[in-house]
Amino acid sequence: MPIEKRNAGVVTSSSRAVAYSNNVAGTFKPAVPSFQRKPIDNEQEGNEQKPGAGLGMPAVAPFQLKSDNAGVIQRKVLVNGFPAVELGGGKALVGGNVVTVPGDRINWVRDGYARRYNAVEEFMKHAGREPVGVGLAKRLGLWYRLPPLENKKFFVLGESHNAFGYRELMNESNQKGKVLGEGGSNTLMSATSDSPLEKSNSPGALEDDNHEVREYAMENLIAKAYYSFVIFKSAEQKKSKETGVDNAAAVDNTEREAGDVWLANYQHAAKADRRRDGEAAGHIPYYNRSAKKVYAQTGTAAEGYASGAVGNSVLTKFYNAIKGIRQKTGYIATPGFIEDVFEPIMYFVETHIPGTWIPKAEEMSARLLSALGKGVKEEADLLEGRRKGVEIKGQESGDFMKPFLAEVKKRRGTTDNKASHGETAFAYRNFAMYRSVIKASRDGFVMAGMGDHHAQELEALLGALTPRIDVITMKGFMDYSTDAISPMTEQDEEFAAKRRAMVTAAVRYQREQNMMEKEEGNRDGSRNGNPAAGTASVVANDLD
């Protein structure tokens, strides 16, 4: 990927290059005089601009919001705070160098997200689909830089399922290796303390360039089904109580806009109207318009996440696994559990009417919860290395689960000695994840991804290992990230001057190139025209 770079501080393609310099404070100073650019305000919108006439800056919002921010331009690719400028023909001025941007990545220079690189080489690696430690979490509107990815060190990410997850991170940062993910579960009664990790059969599991699955399962299916049923039961009981009640229809105070439209409107909205959801809602940005919250529709997989649908699919998957085992002959591992759980799970998957909770449902619920509670203990013993019927001196079955349950109760703020079904199920899920993470950390995996609550509850336990396993919770991820969507003029008071400097350098470069082409054309008689005629307009289009 060509980078035209000769002299330090010189954007060059020939000896008549555009020079610039840095002062001791780090403020960019163009070597050529800057020129004025007058933003177009609401009253000026639609004014015709002549190519090169001050490179006027039109407002980009599809409709104008009343704010003090109309006409601002959000710059895109940034190297050490200085914006890139598109030159045309797939080239751009990036970090003081003229580069040919790989493939469709030139769109990064055109769109409205702030991608921040430390060097042009880092940008070119990212654009060239090589592994990097940076990336854009689009739905969160954040640009992240994660030290473990930069240092090639295994880590655990706590994700917000409806905002940004491990699959998006692996793709965005061009990470090619194996990943452990919450999306899949191990085969029933198969995971032991030394068994290999299983490839995930979850929809959307990550694949390599040869379309081979490179994502592995971390969960225990019984524990996941146990927790899913607790959530399912609570939701069904609530719906049943609401049946026949004449509740007023909920008022939807939200709207969705296509990502590029939303981003332009977000950046033109008044600063007071640009906000972000709280932790429970995933930290997703929005802007207020006419008493409604307006969110972006970016097309990421996280936008389709629905916890209820996921829970129901887990119960169906669990039921199908139980049916499959019953159809086989010679299964002797836990015949009691399989028979105990089959009838009640079949009832809820095949017979139960959604939104009702009749006495039969309550009866089957008690049987299912009892069976699942026993099943997760047997799975955990197997994973811990205990064998059924074998006593371990000084330790009762389940003692190893105490720290996991304690972390669950700590995060939830419960202090009673008795654990609820939900707390118990979540602790057993955490234990299975903990064991899987340890295996992945020793087998060349890039990372592991799990829900943020799991990550919060496992952070101390994984950090206590030798060697320790680092956990980046969603809070930590936010700390490693910077704003990628607010107007740059708000983020950097010197940004306007930096942008003018880069535009000036780009115009000089293009005029120089056109002059060279004209001279060559004059020599062979095949070219003519004004060398500066189309130059400024190309840069102006890039800046619009």
Instruction: Give residue 188's region: left, alpha or beta (phi > 0; psi -120 to 50).
Output: beta
Q: Which range in 27-31, 56-60, 361-365 is most confidently predicted, on average pLDDT?
A: 361-365
Q: What is the pLDDT of residues 128-161, one digit of tens each?
A: 999 999 999 999 999 999 999 999 999 999 999 8
Residue 420: DSSP 8-state = P
C-alpha 430 chain-centroid distance: 22
pLDDT for residue 56: 30
Q: What is the pLDDT of residue 535?
A: 39
For the entire predicted model, the pTM comes to: 0.81
pLDDT in tens, 48-98: 333 333 333 333 333 334 444 544 456 579 999 999 999 999 999 999 899
Amino acid at 171: N
pLDDT at 325 over 70: yes
Name the phi and psi angles at 85, rounded to 5. Answer: -130, 130
Measured CA to CA, the distance from residue 163 to residue 138 in angstroms comes to: 9
Q: Mean pLDDT throughout 291-317?
A: 80
Q: What is the pLDDT of residue 327?
A: 77
Token pair for 123: 């940008």
Distance CA 188, CA 458 (A): 23
Using the predicted structure, report yes or no on whether residue 40 has a pLDDT greater than 90.
Answer: no
3-state secondary structure at position 147: helix
Greater confidence (43 vs 278) lies with 278
In the chain, pLDDT over 70 holds for what percent of residues? 76
pLDDT of 368 higher than 90 = yes
- pLDDT, residue 61, reads 37
SS (H, E, C) 188-241: CCCCCCCCCCCECCCCCCCECCCCCECEEEEEEHHHHHHHHHHHHHHHHHHHHH
* pLDDT at residue number 14: 29
Q: What is the pLDDT of residues 193-252, one digit of tens each?
A: 999 999 998 989 999 999 999 999 999 999 999 999 999 999 999 988 886 555 556 678
Provide the sign of the torsion angle of the four alpha carbons 184, 187, 188, 189, taken in this order: negative
Whether residue 303 is predicted with pLDDT greater than 80 in this model: the reply is no
* DSSP state letters, 369-417: HHHHHHHHHHHHHHHHT--TT--BTTB-TTGGGHHHHHHHHHHHT---S
Dump pLDDT digits (tens) for 160-183.
Answer: 988 999 999 999 999 999 999 998
Most confident of 150-154, 386-390, 521-525: 150-154
- Distance separating alpha carbons of residues 431 and 384, to the nearest angstrom: 9
Phi/psi of residue 97, nearest 5 degrees: -130, 145
pLDDT digits (tens, 9 = 90+) for 104-119: 999 999 999 999 999 9
Amino acid identity, residue 301?
Answer: A
Place of tokens 């997200």: 113
Distance, in Å, from the CA atom of 103 to the CA atom of 122, rounded to the nearest integer, reads 16
Q: Are 466 and 185 in contact (CB under 8 A)?
A: no
The alpha carbon of 328 is separated from its chain's Cα centroid by a whole number of angstroms, namely 41
Summarize the chain as % helix, strand, coil (round to 5).
45, 20, 40
CA dist 220 and 41 (Å) reads 58
Query: In the β-sheet with 18-22, what is the strand arrangement from edge to edge?
Result: 10-11, 18-22, 28-30
Q: What is the pLDDT of residue 251?
A: 75
| Rg of the chain, C-alpha, whole Å | 29
Q: Which residues lie below 8 Å from residue 514, measured CB to CB, with a gap of 6+?
A: 531, 532, 533, 534, 535
Token pair, residue 329, equals 């002959």
- What is the band of 330 on the pLDDT scale with cuts at 50, 70, 90? low
> What pLDDT does 521 receive?
76
Question: Which structure tokens are listed for 469?
Answer: 């396993």
Sequence-distant (6+) residues with CB within 8 A of 101 are 90, 91, 92, 94, 108, 109, 127
In 286-334, alpha helices (H) = 307-327
Contact 256, 263 (CB under 8 A): no
